[in-house]
Amino acid sequence: MAVTPRNTPPFGDPETRRRNFEEVNRGFDAETAVREASRCLQCKNPMCRAGCPVGVDIPAFIREIKNRNFEAARDVIVRDNNLPSVCGRVCPQETQCEAKCVLSKFGAVAIGALERFAGDFIPGGKAVKTTAFNGKSVAIVGSGPAGLSAAADLLKYGFSVTIYEAFHLPGGVLSYGIPEFRLPKRIVSAEIASLKKMGAEIVTNVVIGKSLTLQDLTEEYDFVFLATGAGLPSFMDIPGEGLNGVSSANEFLTRVNLMKAMDPDSVTPVQRGKNVVVVGAGNVAMDAARTAMRLGADTVTVVYRRSRAEMPARKEEIEHAEEEGIRFELLTSPVAVLGKTEVEGLKLIRMRLGEPDERGRRRPISVEGSEFEITCDQVIMALGTSPNPILKRSAPELETDARGVIKVDENGATNIPRVYAGGDAATGAATVILAMAAGKRAARSIDLFAEKM
């Protein structure tokens, strides 16, 4: 079968972009978007849609782009996905919708790039119609993807929605976790502005568990949706982790993305190491490594205890990191951070892969006698996160597992009546689109519950 080659968007020059925070992926222009949309076969049984966690009608919006109805394309997407410009940039389409595309063997339709194009056509979109106020109120704790997605659907259903955010700016991980060069904050701001137009009230600088309690919310609102994310970083518990110059990727990226530590006059500066090591190999590790390079590092090395085949980061992010000069020290694990008061180096050990673990990944095993040292002045731990315990401490009746993840049923309901949870707070760290799916699921459940009240 003759298939038109897949179109790809332009990217910034690696030598230039590695020293600035401009968006790397420049996106499709209109003509390229139309050409790419024309590759879609408009399958009668679109498996791509089955691969989308929120069920976007992918063939329909692509058809609109093909016909140059760009505004209509966005309208199709937002029926199911309230953050098209965000998801078009950060969703792992290659393992979801595009993986199901019947053209995947030849070059799947660039669904993510087309979604981004449609979302960006009207930044933040048009005002979405909502139904008449149903007399019920919902408090949403957290303004990340799960909270924003739930809020949009609840507003459409006719609820009064108030979102509580711990930071001074809403957006959750979209604002503090993902760098500007991957997700410009103007995109996040536009999506949040659209939500406000729909009627959402957003209250910042409020930590539930300190400023207010969960009980306060259940007494004031008819329903509560907990979307507090997973912001507690993990460390290795190795010697030297307490030295100056060791931080979590979560703290490092928050200072840069939310507190604008990349600016020379920032009131919340961040360390700018010259020889930086990032431990981990997920998307957060790639973000931290590429950010450190942009802050002026001479060398940035990613250390990972498995091989390249097991790296959990998106292929595109790994490739972009390599293009920008990031080094990879694979099948290697830290055993100690070296130094007296400041980081001076890292002691590592070589690893080999053994039998698969319970998740199917081959277990890394230390190679005896293979220790070696490298010089560095900054170590960033990107080893994953778990839910912050503040909420649980103030609401011990809320059921969680041993990691602090909130227990929910298939509808997102917790053990406390009229209290729901979703996103990373209820799954552990996951993707933006899965968090959004959880928000939509909980919103629908709340709506069905309210109809019976």
8 A C-beta contact, residue 386 and residue 230: yes
In this prediction, residue 3 carries a pLDDT of 77
Q: Which of 18, 41, 8 is nearest to 286 (CA)?
A: 18
In this prediction, residue 124 carries a pLDDT of 65
- Report d(CA 363, CA 365) in Å as an integer: 6
Domains of the chain: 14-121 (1.10.1060.10), 137-231+386-451 (3.50.50.60), 235-383 (3.50.50.60)
- pLDDT tens digits for 346-389? 999 999 999 988 888 889 999 999 999 999 999 999 999 999 99
In this prediction, residue 126 carries a pLDDT of 62
In this prediction, residue 261 carries a pLDDT of 82
Low-confidence ranges of the chain (pLDDT < 70): 1-2, 123-129
Measured over all CA atoms, what is the biggest interatomic distance in the chain, rounded to whole angstroms?
Answer: 70
- Report d(CA 414, CA 368) in Å as an integer: 47
In this prediction, residue 360 carries a pLDDT of 83
With 0.85 as the threshold, say if the pTM is over it.
yes
Helix (H, G, I), strand (E, B) or coil at 441: helix
- Report d(CA 25, CA 356) in Å as an integer: 36
8 A C-beta contact, residue 422 and residue 227: yes
Q: Where is 251: in which H helix or E strand?
A: helix 249-257
Q: Where is 41: in which H helix or E strand?
A: none
Residue 403 DSSP code: T
In this prediction, residue 127 carries a pLDDT of 58
In this prediction, residue 19 carries a pLDDT of 96
8 A C-beta contact, residue 153 and residue 82: yes
In this prediction, residue 87 carries a pLDDT of 96
In this prediction, residue 357 carries a pLDDT of 83
What letter represents residue 263's amino acid?
D
Helix (H, G, I), strand (E, B) or coil at 399: coil
8 A C-beta contact, residue 314 and residue 92: yes
